[in-house]
Structure 1
Amino acid sequence: MRKLLLLSFCLFNMATTSAQRAGFWQQKVHYKMDIDVDDQTYQYQGKMTLDYTNNSNQALPKVYFHLYFNAFQPGSMMDYRLSHIADPDPRMTTNLGTKEQPRYQSRIATLTPEQIGYQQVETLTVNGQPTQFKVDGTLLEVVLPQAINPGQTATFTMEWSAQVPEQIRRSGRNSKEGVALSMTQWYPKMAHFDEFGWHLDEYVAREFIAPFGDFDVTIHIDKDYVIGASGKLQNPSAVKGYDKMAKVKTKKGKASWNFKAQNIHDFAWAADPEFVVDSAKSNSGVTVYTVFLPTNKEVKANWNTALSLSTEFFDYCSAHFGDYPWPTYSIVQGGDGGMEYGTATLVTGGRNIKSLVGVIFHEAAHSWYQHLFGINETVDEWFDEGFTSYIEELAFQSLFEKKGALASNPVINAYRSYYKLALSGKEEPMSLLADYYNTNYAYSNEAYNKGQVLAGQLGYIIGKENLAKTFLQFYDIWKFKHPTPNDFKRVAEEVSGINLKWYFNLFVNTTRTIDYAVESISDQEILLANKSNFAMPIDLLVEYEDGSKELFYIPLREMRGEKPSENLDLYQGVTRTVLEDWFWTKPTYTVKTTKKPVKVQIDPSLRLADIESANNTYTR
């Protein structure tokens, strides 16, 4: 028995290590920032010391910073994008036409100099030496006096001034709900460099990527303000809101807030004089803070309920997707919807309870599929948003809707949205860079819904239990390491023993669709057809004349393996028969039976993303 256990451990260890990329490395940052805010002008002065460690195998003669606030200026790329995309974000535009004949104008185009956003770098040195730098839209290019060699840490010292823009997208001042400052993407952020090179994406309102690092942020602001932020507050007794016994310490009428966080890749905060703070601790030890405007009794009640459910959420996700690794999480009212940041989210708060819990669950789920893994949202938006939405839906049904046993396909609504997209003529390959979709309709449905379908259908291919194991093993191998979708695919292959190259390639890189049909049945024969250009394995449930049932499983040749039996309620007591595999080059397949079939159904679990379900069932 001991030898068997040792062999099992060795095989598991091989599985967990063979899915890692050879020669893996990643950069490291450490930010120390001091921010002095003028809440009357919505401007601030910033000082930053940034330690940047080059763990790559090449010298870096240049580095780049993102200056996101610069997007909120007339004539920016974001401004032009809003003016020319077919279906612009209504939060960012004004309709000058009618509902029937809309004529959208970018809200950025009408900003005055007092309303725009900007980040102006005033001084920048590296290791005490001056640098040459220039601003190009929302990017700062820095030419270094000496290259940063492999293994070397360089220290950047920067001073900059900034103006917070009107609330148009994510960042901003004076939101519709009355939050004074929503401070996201607010500091000059070091761009990401990895084996694919520098990621120099202009900000046009989509997503982000950045290196992991540590943050030490001090914010000086009028003493009456309360702040919710990433990380852990270091001085609760010296500021307003977090400690009932606090004696607010001020200097020139301002209080100083100090937050620290380790191993995150973004830092956000929001501030308002009317904010109230509440907190609770999950069973696994995560302190969850809510920071919101208590505008009425219903709002306060909703946030109180949401706080309780949020602690349950972190326990649920830690059990199913890997332990939440940070001590705190802050849910802060602000912004214009919901957006995830390191150990924090900003969400709009004047919602009904179902909407509030839903958006909190979604943004908190990003703690895994974005912030814990550091997924490149600009390249693999579906891996970020789709998998996050998958987690959100499972948690919501389990915790909010109190469903004891989830349905065989808990993300069926995402499938339905995907079907509409696939039949709309607007679908584009899911591998398209997030910024470049022709329509917001295609982007949102592919990132959020088709991404969920990819995860749900993967469970259909490799088995429900193997999918659950894949999520946990992926966490063990890739947390804090910027994995790619291929890394997830490799883990799923290791766990299941099934080749998945064909599935990820066709579902991510093409707009091909799945359509299988039951063509005919006779006394002892069933004829199936693949009417599409996307081959899949088939679960076929057959009900016989005598009332018995049999589940036929037809693997796909390209899988080079088989899905094990699944513990699904709808298959309890049903005999399972594994047949010979089906070639993708062969359009039909004949199933022979020993009894007379009266009803035949392809995939009763509804996890096969078949765009035409009408021909999936045949009844005599």
Structure 2
Amino acid sequence: MNLKQSFGLLLLVLSTLTSFAQRKGYWDQKVDYTMEIDVNEQTFQYDGKMKLKYSNNSGQQLHKVYFHLYFNAFQPGSFMDERLKNIADPDVRMVTNIGTKEKPVRQSRISVLTPDQIGYQKIESVKYRGSEVAFKEDGTILEVTLPSAINDGETVEFDLTWKAQVPEQIRRSGRNSKEGVAFSMTQWYPKMAQFDEFGWHLDEYVGREFIAPFGNFDVTIHINKDYVIGSSGKLQNPSEVKGYVKNAKIKTKNNKATWHYKAENIHDFAWAADPKFVVDSAKSKGGVTVYTVFLPTDKEVTDNWKTALGLATEFFDFVGERFGAYPWNTYTVVQGGDGGMEYGTATLITGGRNLKGLVGVIFHEAAHSWYQQLFGINETVDEWMDEGFTSYIEEVANTELFEKPTARALNPIGSAYTSYFRLAKSGLEEPMSLLADYYNTNFAYSIQAYSKGGVLAEQLGYIIGKQNLNKTFLNFYDIWKLKHPTPNDFKRVAEETSGINLKWYFNLFINTTRTIDYAISKVSEDSIELVNKSNFAMPIDLLVEYEDGTKELFYIPLREMRGEKPAEDYAIYQGVTRTVLTDWFWTKPKYSVPVKKRVKQAWIDPTQRLADINQEDNSYSK
């Protein structure tokens, strides 16, 4: 390489670093928790105390702060209880049928909890800068009024003490799960609410998900010596507790063992405990130690967990290479909860599954280590980015590591497209930008968040090119890891990576329920006529096979893109001539593709990534 080439490369690197920069003015609050809790396993209650360091980087004074008290949702008359009573299709895990099979009557399980079954977090005291301050509990929100403001750039300390009761297991948190786990401890501590450019996030807990500031955790748990814990963070004293080290010398006081955990740069901390838990572990090639903590109910279950552990280590290596390195050195998969839910460096899942189901839920929750644990996405606002991108990673990894088909699917998330089409034709679809708590049905929420969000990602690859999509995920990682990005931040990275304007795509697919519908309307000796039957314009790939056996791929960009995607390396395009045509206006419903030979067959979108809701008219055969 000569000097001129070297200088040119340096300029390219510098311009790239300048282009892929964080948005100007971005800031984050920071929290550091030091907590100690003393558990009474007989009453399912515990006493807690916390020292919280809170750093204000907002550029303004704060005169109040807020905490979440999630356990308070598990009380008759709560927001969550009333939502279960009034939504058309309540979560089946959270209701019981008190009617008949023919005439079901769904009853909220929260509504019948007795005083010794409910959940609560009762705050006893709050200190600010060492002095007692006023506070008010309001449902699942704790409001703390400050006698003096927290100034910009200032770090202050809060001290909290509280008493809590673990509710009967209904949603995520709880005791005595259906699988027999004693403690599933999620959303278990007074959690500092998120404050950012959009203000305080003070959503009542009605069953959806979360957002919180990043910080460090130092957690000490005192519990009966016979219990084994699986948790977020890294265990600091494995030789003093049960389950992690052979011939451990368990240290006890009042018949209790002490478990000490630390974690850095996470925004949620969870754990589960049971006397019957067993622990297994393995290390990925990239150095991530994966722990599994589960109930060995029979040989098949134990074998499934063993196999899943090996696949989990492969998962972290694969996803780390494809979407950015996992930044922590441990990850713990714990049997507990009511399905699967992600937390900082850990997940709680149900464990009595067949191998496919167990691997699937582990892959999904581990994928959340990127979206939403590594990127602190606001799940209450942008649930589709959290669950949708996670589902996308899950399916890509599942295809690569578990199913391992001999011929790779052109679209690895085809099942998500099928679900989205079902929603789009149901009449129940609502805009994907709707706040997660406010969907009229769980049916619409689930498909919007998990399926349509994944479709957005895969279809983005159709627009900007598969290689550019892969680069976008990695560039996004470099810029936004361990921060709180928004969907617009992801869009901007995709635009900078590809050189394509994407405002139209993100706006229409997220903020409206418009659908895509193209067709081949007419084929003649010298042209193929395409028609956009919908109000959602997209670029078009049209693969044509001529009667002489040759093939040609016509690529028609949209004017709004202000650019073109590069040629893609799909096997079906090998040896195929690619012709780029004049861009198509979204204001013009028809487009004529010129051909110079007799057409035998033609296909719109042969890679099956265009979310066209009616594909019966997308192909032609003479």
From 227, 230, 251, give the equivalent of 2:229: 227
For 1:364, the equivalent position in structure 2 comes to 366
SS at match of 2:20: helix
1:36-47 pair list within 5 angstroms: 36-47=38-49
Provide Cα deviations, 1:317-355, integer angstroms capped at 9, x if missing partner. Answer: 100000000010000000010000000000000000000
Conservation of the 8 A alpha-carbon contact between 1:129 and 1:145: no
Could you list the per-position Cα deviations for residues 224-247 of structure 1 after superposition, in whole angstroms to 9, with x for gaps in the alignment? 000000000000011000110310
3-state SS of the aligned residue for 2:301? helix
| Residue in structure 1 matching 2:459, options 447, 457, 460 | 457
Q: What residue number does 1:573 align with?
A: 575
Cα displacement (A) at 1:618: 1.4
1:257-289 per-residue CA deviation (whole Å, 9 max, x = no partner) reads: 000000000000000000000100000000000
Distance, in Å, in 1 between the alignment partners of 2:183 and 2:66 is 26
Partner SS for 1:21: coil
Question: 1:53 and 1:103, CA in 2 relative to 1: closer, same or farther beyond 3 A?
Answer: same
Alignment of 1:202 with 2:204, yes or no, is yes
- Structure 1 runs of 4+ off > 4 angstroms? none
| Alignment TM-score, normalising by the size of structure 2 | 0.99
* Structure 1 residue 3, shift from structure 2 partner: 1.6
**Alignment partner, residue 12 of structure 1:** 16
The aligned counterpart of 1:122 is 124
- In structure 2, what is the Cα distance between the partners aligned to 1:21 and 1:233? 37
Q: CA deviation at 1:408?
A: 1.6
* Matches for 1:42-61 after TM superposition, within 5 Å: 42-61=44-63
> 1:576 Cα deviation (Å)?
0.4
Distance apart, 1:98 and its partner CA: 2.9
Match of 2:184 among 182, 185, 192: 182
Asked if the contact 1:15/1:495 (under 8 Å) is kept, the reply is no
Structure 2 residue aligned with 1:159? 161
Report the aligned-residue RMSD.
0.7
What SS does the aligned partner of 1:452 have?
A: helix
- Partner-residue secondary structure (3-state), 2:58: coil
> Is 1:127–1:156's contact at 8 Å kept on the other side of the alignment?
yes
218-227 or 590-599: bigger deviation: 590-599
Aligned residues with identical type, % of pairs: 73
Instruction: Provide the rounded CA distance (Å) in 2 between the counterparts of 1:612 and 1:566.
Output: 25
Query: Displacement of 1:102 after TM fit?
Result: 2.1
State which drifts further: 3-12 or 379-388.
3-12
Alpha-carbon shift at residue 597 of structure 1 (Å): 0.9
| Corresponding residue number in structure 1 for 2:110 | 108
Matches within 5 A, 1:469-618: 469-618=471-620
Which residue matches 1:299?
301
Shift of 1:404: 5.8
Kept after mapping to 2: 8 A contact 1:130/1:145: no
**1:470 Cα deviation after fit:** 0.3
TM-fit CA distance, 1:405: 5.7
Q: Which amino acid aligns with 2:287?
A: G
- The alignment status of 1:417 with 2:419, answered yes or no, reads yes
Aligned to 2:316: 314
For residue 153 of structure 1, report the CA deviation from its aligned partner: 0.8
Whole-Å separation in 2 of the counterparts to 1:350 and 1:433: 33
Is 1:346 the counterpart of 2:333? The answer is: no
Inter-partner Cα distance in structure 2 for 1:490 and 1:381: 19
What secondary structure is seen at the aligned counterpart in 1 of 2:509?
A: helix
Deviations 1:495-535 (A, max 9, x none): 00000000000000000000000000001111100000000
SS in 1 for 2:585: coil
C-alpha separation in 2, matches of 1:68 and 1:96: 27
Q: Distance in 2 between matches of 1:494 and 1:301?
A: 46
- Report Cα offsets for 1:440-495 as digits up to 9, x if no partner: 00000000000000001000000000000000000000001100000000000000
Question: 1:548-580 CA deviation, whole Å, 9 max, x = no partner?
Answer: 110000000000000100010111111100000
> Residues 34 and 219 of structure 1 are in contact (CA less than 8 Å); yes or no, is this contact kept in structure 2?
yes
Aligned mates of 1:187, 1:242 — CA distance in 2:
25
1:142 to 2:144 alignment = yes
Provide TM-score, normalisation by structure 1: 0.99
Q: Which amino acid aligns with 1:214?
A: N
Deviates more, 1:90-99 or 1:176-185: 90-99
CA distance in 1, matches of 2:598, 2:217: 68
Equivalent position of 2:239 in the other structure:
237
1:431 aligned residue: 433
Equivalent position SS for 2:578: strand
What is the CA–CA distance in structure 2 between the aligned matches of 1:404 and 1:195, rounded to whole Å? Answer: 48
